[in-house]
Structure 1
């Protein structure tokens, strides 16, 4: 089975859980018999792990009649003549010259470099919507010139690409909902993003949600029939040998960590308020907020306002290796998310022998039995849980041992087998 897969990010160039999940799932699928994945991202940097999949960047694909050669895992593909109704232009003068001529109604003009390739940032910048549109244009070319059995598009940024590939190829489309704009915005939904999400859900032949929490939102907020949606939980990558040496804290104090984007969705303010309550009861503890986001300055100001700057640390964004090192120095991990479709970091923390506290408003709470669960807004319950894990070694020890055993069974191989079943059911319909 050949799968044409679209995603927005891929390690090591990631900004959160989406890229981590895409990497884990593609590795899991690669381990299954007779499954081949061609993974497409807007911008390939050249240092991505391609040991188990073929990966190409839309930024590498000419949008005019040019020869291209794909490098596969074991063999080269034949060179392809790319043809499309896209008219590339390099500068404004060329654009207006081309615009003055007559073209078919479907013709689209797109700015390229001298090699007729579209420049993608591959990030979430101010030109995001334009890049999503251009990504879909290139997706049509890729779908036209490759053989595959079905299409799999990850999250809303890749839905238009998935739809374009479906329209040109006639192959079935699976979309993977890692989050909705209701999660990211706290209910203050961007109508443009909502429209893209809804169009993707309606165009899809099957939908994979990362939790029943998300599945319910798809049904209630987007009006999608329940039978169209299958829940497949995320998993965690095994710890590699080079991550295992233990790092020392450098301080003789307990460490409590928040690790994630510092945005409204992740509930950083509730972590700070809980930290303040804990510090009223004990002094031998430090709090760490690892990550970056639009609420960073507000959180720094709140910590200063509460007078606990000496006990609170902001690390900024951490890369994957640094995440594990941070967890090695952590005594308690807290994820107080307001609306979390899944949440992979608690699994990584449990894998690192760290007891975890998670919100009831997270998808991962549906599958974890050995974690303390609280409502994100209940800062007193959060503070009590932190205090208990720091001061009762037997409780912390039980959650460490049981949690590590539990997370050992949450593998990407298992998740990939469930995704493959979705594929097979769709192709056999």
Structure 2
């Protein structure tokens, strides 16, 4: 079986859990004898891919005539309503904006081709790159043999729709987060419309948790029988604790790691820390990550006069994050809204007991974690203090959550995804 998979990021070039999940899914599928062709906007050459073939959309040459078909004009029209790329009203005018080069064929004749440049990031041209990525998907879908199309999050939904239109192969959209998770009720309507269109056009929708599945059904109005939950997992790292340094100081280290945005609840973490430090100064708190609220959180810690107990190391790469987790006593994920949340699983993998919010999808698969309501900073402070100070509960959660983690592998989760592929393929052929 062969799958054409579209994702916006792939390790080690990631900004959060999406790329990590994509690697886990693709690796798990490879272990289930599924050949994965993974397409990213820009390939860097050092992607963490062994049995996975990674292709960069920026390296794909697109024949100018390849998008001049009635079927693709019809498909592309779905994206013209409320599209942020306002100057481009058709595939032809969109294509005219691309960088055109001349490639000599084997018959020594010239044919015009286009190659779209991609940053692969999340900058000011993000929406433009999403639509160019979708047009590139047309060429990729016509140049490769595959049985099913699998796309990750709204950034790649248009690419999946275009690939389905040109190939006629079944489409699965994988929802790792929704606009309601990222923005609360103050949603970006263009993103919402792109998400909903992708779900409507998909043959199956995969949600990372039951929490996310309910949002898809209730707020995107997708039929319940079309949406299935497949929880995330975490890749094993052999000898992680043996290869990393142990803590050489007495203070308890309490760690938060993730994007510093409202969705992740960083302010609640700081408030809980302030409550603990009022009664016990033998703690250090780490807020690792970057985001739009980072400066505000540094200022907030200063305002509460606890800066000397706080560390803000910024975004950490995998090796650096593993080092931090290894010396941590407690990991806290106080998210206001978290579709799943892989980072607590990574903390458990490093031998750290975790505290997670009840507003997260990961709490569906972890019985042995302390669970809090995100805004309840008194409960959060009590849970942190108890887990850090009482060896019995610390050892219990560490031992039992590790057992839970061992039962949750990407190979097992990917086997569920493969069954979805099998079912769709049987319906199409």
With normalisation by structure 2, the TM-score equals 0.89
1:369–1:174 CA distance, 2 compared to 1 (3 A): same
Structure 2: how far apart are the matches of 1:30 and 1:327? 28
The one-character-per-residue Cα deviations of 1:94-150 (angstroms, maximum 9, x if unpaired) are xxxxxxxxx996873232265742110000111000000000010001001111111
Q: Does 1:12 align with 2:1?
A: no
Counterpart of 1:85? 68
Q: Does 1:112 align with 2:82?
A: no
1:83: Cα distance to partner? 4.1
The one-character-per-residue Cα deviations of 1:246-292 (angstroms, maximum 9, x if unpaired) are 31334321100000000011000000000001111211110000000
1:310–1:163 CA distance, 2 compared to 1 (3 A): same
Q: Does 1:45 align with 2:28?
A: no
Counterpart of 1:55? 54
Aligned residues of 1:243 and 1:321 also touching (Cα < 8 A): no
Q: Does 1:235 align with 2:257?
A: no
Q: Does 1:271 align with 2:258?
A: no
1:186: Cα distance to partner? 1.7
5+ long unaligned stretches in structure 2: 70-89, 103-113
Structure 1: how far apart are the matches of 2:123 and 2:334? 27
1:358: Cα distance to partner? 0.1
2:210 to 188, 209, 212: 212
Counterpart of 1:32? 32
Which aligned segments of 4 or more residues in structure 1 are displaced greater than 4 angstroms?
103-107
Q: Does 1:170 align with 2:157?
A: no
1:85: Cα distance to partner? 3.3
1:243: Cα distance to partner? 6.2
| Matched ranges for 1:401-420 at <5 A | 401-420=399-418
1:303: Cα distance to partner? 0.1
Q: Does 1:315 align with 2:346?
A: no
Aligned residues of 2:68 and 2:92 also touching (Cα < 8 A): no
Aligned residues of 2:241 and 2:350 also touching (Cα < 8 A): no
Counterpart of 1:223? 221
Structure 2: how far apart are the matches of 1:151 and 1:84? 19
Counterpart of 2:21? 21
**DSSP-derived class of the 1:244 partner:** helix
Counterpart of 2:353? 355
Structure 1: how far apart are the matches of 2:283 and 2:48? 38
Structure 1: how far apart are the matches of 2:172 and 2:387? 42
The one-character-per-residue Cα deviations of 1:232-255 (angstroms, maximum 9, x if unpaired) are 000011013466323133432110
1:322: Cα distance to partner? 1.0
Structure 2: how far apart are the matches of 1:313 and 1:53? 37
**DSSP-derived class of the 1:339 partner:** coil
Counterpart of 2:257? 259
Aligned residues of 1:159 and 1:175 also touching (Cα < 8 A): yes
Aligned residues of 1:85 and 1:107 also touching (Cα < 8 A): no
Aligned residues of 1:85 and 1:108 also touching (Cα < 8 A): no
Counterpart of 2:301? 303
Counterpart of 1:71? none
1:105–1:343 CA distance, 2 compared to 1 (3 A): closer
Aligned residues of 2:209 and 2:362 also touching (Cα < 8 A): yes
Aligned residues of 1:30 and 1:37 also touching (Cα < 8 A): yes
Counterpart of 2:128? 130
Which 10-residue stretch deviates more, 245-254 or 305-314?
245-254
With normalisation by structure 1, the TM-score equals 0.89
Aligned residues of 1:357 and 1:371 also touching (Cα < 8 A): yes
Counterpart of 2:195? 197
The one-character-per-residue Cα deviations of 1:319-341 (angstroms, maximum 9, x if unpaired) are 11111111001000000000000
Counterpart of 1:428? 426
Structure 2: how far apart are the matches of 1:107 and 1:290? 40
Structure 2: how far apart are the matches of 1:394 and 1:107? 63
Matched residues, number: 396
Structure 2: how far apart are the matches of 1:263 and 1:272? 13
**DSSP-derived class of the 2:331 partner:** strand
